[in-house]
Each structure stands twice: as C-alpha cells, then as structure tokens.
Amino acid sequence: MKQIKVKADTAELDNVLSFADTILEELGCSVKAQMQIDIAIEEIFVNIAHYAYPEAEGEAVIYVEPGDGSSSVTITFEDEGIPYDPLKNEDPDITLSADDRPIGGLGIFMVKKSMDEVSYEYKDGKNRLTIKKSF
C-alpha cells in the first residue's frame, strides 16, 4: 500500500492524481478504468477540500492498494474533518432536467455508478471513504 498526505486544498489535486496514475500505470490499468478512477478521485478529493474543514485548514491522506493479482485497486481517502457520510444521501433523480434537479449529489452518484465498491466509515475521529475498481 502506498500513500500520499496532502493539504486538503484543490491546488493539491494534480499531485493526488499524478500519485494515483503512476501506481495505476504500474498495475497495467486500462485507460478507460484509469479515467473512471481519476474522475472518482477528483470528485472525492475536491469534496474533502471544500467541505471537510469549513473553519480551518486540514489534511487528507490517500491510500492506494493494489488488489490480488494486480487487476484491481482500492483507494481510501482519509481526513479528520467534520463527520460526513456522502453515501447516506439519496441518489439524484437523473430523469429530471438539470434545471429541475436540486444541486448536489451528482458527483458521488457518478462515483457509485463507476466504481465496483464504495464504502464509508467514521472511526477514530476520521472519515474514511473507500473505492474499489477492477480492471
């Protein structure tokens, strides 16, 4: 398992993506799966940067762990921000037009649809959102 610890700031997004992409390329991840994983990483990390620490600066740790046989990857995002489980929200009604749909929830919906597994836990004062993707 490899990890990167960064400031929870959108300015760090490129560093996080570069870190993950290097590992995904070493694992032989397909371009399609890598793009899906990158979109999920961006959505999750940007949400941490914008919402986890509303009154202070904080950090995020991203763990990337190859699966058995290196044909999958598990990525865990950890922060010490306010407890928040994005999986508790109802999925947005995508049959509505963008004008009629309430703002929010579409990003995590895309993550849930594009990843094989998505889970959340709050433990020891830390949010942990984990995604898994086979390729």
Q: What's the CATH number where 117 sits?
A: 3.30.565.10
* Domains in the chain, number: 1
The pLDDT score that the predictor gives to residue 109 is 84
Write phi, then psi, for 28 (nearest 5 degrees): 80, 30
Write phi, then psi, for 53 (nearest 5 degrees): -125, 75
Domain boundaries, position 27: 2-134
The pLDDT score that the predictor gives to residue 98 is 62
In this prediction the pTM is 0.89
The pLDDT score that the predictor gives to residue 14 is 98
Q: Which of residues 104 and 55 earns the better pLDDT score?
A: 55
The pLDDT score that the predictor gives to residue 68 is 81
Q: Which of residues 118 and 104 earns the better pLDDT score?
A: 118
34-93 pLDDT tens trace: 999 999 999 999 999 999 999 999 999 999 999 987 699 999 999 999 999 998 877 656
Alpha helices in the chain (DSSP H): 13-26, 31-47, 106-114
The pLDDT score that the predictor gives to residue 100 is 61
State both tokens at 62.
């991203």
User: Helix 31-47 to helix 106-114 angle, to the nearest 10 degrees?
Assistant: 150
